[in-house]
Amino acid sequence: MAKKIVRAVLAALLVGTIALAATAPYGAPGTRKSSSITLSISQ
């Protein structure tokens, strides 16, 4: 069982490393559109 867990951890590390090395997606936090309030002061 311990061997299986160690192998799974190694496989997981390899998955992350392959993804980092071989993929190039574009990911970013979105820019939420927010409503703006305009105040005008008239004298």
Contact positions vs other proteins (CB under 8 A): 4-5, 7-33
Q: How far is the CB of 13 from other proteins (least distance, A)?
A: 7
Residue listed under structure tokens 């071989």: 22
Nearer to other proteins, 36 or 40 (CB): 36
- Token code pair at residue 34: 């927010």
Q: In this complex, which beta carbon is closest to other proteins, that of residue 23 or of residue 43?
A: 23
**φ/ψ (deg, to 5) at 19:** -60, -45
Nearer of residues 20 and 37 to other proteins, judged by Cβ = 20
